[in-house]
Amino acid sequence: MKTITEYKNKKVLVLGLAKSGFSAAKLLHDLGALVTVNDGKPFEDNPEAQDLLALGVKVVTGSHPIELLDEDFSLMVKNPGIPYTQPLVQKALEKKIPILTEVELAYQISEAPIIGITGTNGKTTTTTMIERVLNTGLSKGTARLSGNIGFPASSVAQEVTSDDCLVMELSSFQLMGTQTFHPTIAVITNLYEAHLDYHGSREEYVAAKWNIQKNMTNEDHLVLNWNQTEVQALAKTTKATVVPFSTKEKVEGAYLFEGQLYFKEEAILPVDQLGVPGKHNVENALAAIAVGKLWGIDNQAIAKALSVFTGVPHRTQYVDKIEEVVFFNDSKATNILATEMALGGFDHERLILLAGGLDRGNGFDELVPSLEGIKAIVLFGETKHKLEDAAKKAGIPTIKLTENVETAVPIAFELSEKGDTILLSPANASWDQYPNFEVRGDRYMAAVAALKK
């Protein structure tokens, strides 16, 4: 890692721990900063705080006393999930204390160039596709996953060399806390409305995403979804060299044409050879192709990586095939848009959908067009009756109600015939019955496995 001295003997407050906060605090301590950590979890239940205290880091846990900022801090490193409306953060803003997230630290110490990926949907899948493409075709060095994908960027950045690259998933929350962050290649998968409770408006949300390119030059490449007119308009405001991708038209980048995925007139692979289904995954693959080509990966390696990639857990993930019935797990579809995108990749006449959970006060009328033509639907959780109304409006001939994912699987299998697909894509949050979408997806996969017993 690069040796930097700018934090030596500087007083830094790290607000919020979890993986990224722990990593940032430890790194800053190693760089000679005088670190204070503040986390809401009580000390006795906080192993990260205990470990940092053992290293000599000052630790304040259990609450967020505003008096902490009576000290003369030079910097706050904030956990991305903590909103800017939080009182300590508000006070830091009043005192004009710079507020960063740990991806900024990662950039400052990384010897490796960074490929940054953001967007509303598809970030994790696209990030993983890019990592697979690069590692299939690199002649030296390694592409390392980092960032919002579960590997703290400031930890991975300490391990890489100039031969490697950091493939970094970035949320809008992380990007708000950047100043000098500068990827060599940046990808924006798409822009929809999201996280308005955090950002306050769509404009602020988009501005946070657009931060990814603010320090890029014309020597850098910005890979953009040309299907969106909003993104095309934003493209006129960047200094980076824009590389578009599109499923709707030929572009000077990556595109879909007559069943083939291309990059600038070079056919890479047939779309039906992608290892994951769904129109949204075609977009994700095009973004990965663009990055692969920009990084110098040959077409054969790109095609190989994308054809064997079967998905990220809980994101249109292939699960199993039982008696000629195929199962997919899209538990990450916690809203209507995500389920609409998943449904676009399947033959509705042979599809049985499992959906339900906890809504956000919304109805499901906008989902109706995407449900039309589906063979059968099995509904569970708090929203099953709301979804039943939508399914009836869509004219789905077979509608079954049940308690949860575990009971939905055998019902769906009983309804299925050879050649059918059973898809869990809930269009809802999981919190009515499960602590998170991962647990919901795991229970689904366990129920599928139980069908074999």
Binding-site residues for ATP:
119-125
Within 10 angstroms of residue 407's Cβ, the number of other Cβ atoms is 14
Q: In 3D, which of 255, 246, 248 has the Cα closest to residue 190?
A: 246
Residue 218 and residue 254 in contact, taking contact as beta carbons nearer than 8 Å:
no
Residue 67 CB contacts under 8 Å (≥ 6 apart), including other chains? none
Q: 């996969």: which residue's tokens?
A: 445
Q: Residue 316's beta-bridge partner residues?
A: none
Task: Give the angle 11-14-15 at the CA atoms, nearest 5°.
Answer: 135
Within 10 angstroms of residue 35's Cβ, the number of other Cβ atoms is 27
Residue 376 CB contacts under 8 Å (≥ 6 apart), including other chains? 352, 353, 396, 397, 398, 399, 400, 412, 415
Residue 85 CB contacts under 8 Å (≥ 6 apart), including other chains? none
Q: Is 66 exposed, middle or buried (0-12, 13-18, 19+ CB in 10 A)?
A: exposed
Would you give the DSSP letter of residue 312?
Answer: B
Q: In 3D, which of 72, 52, 56, 87 has the Cα closest to residue 12?
A: 72
Residue list, annotated binding site: 119-125
Helix and strand numbers, DSSP H then E, in the chain: 17, 20
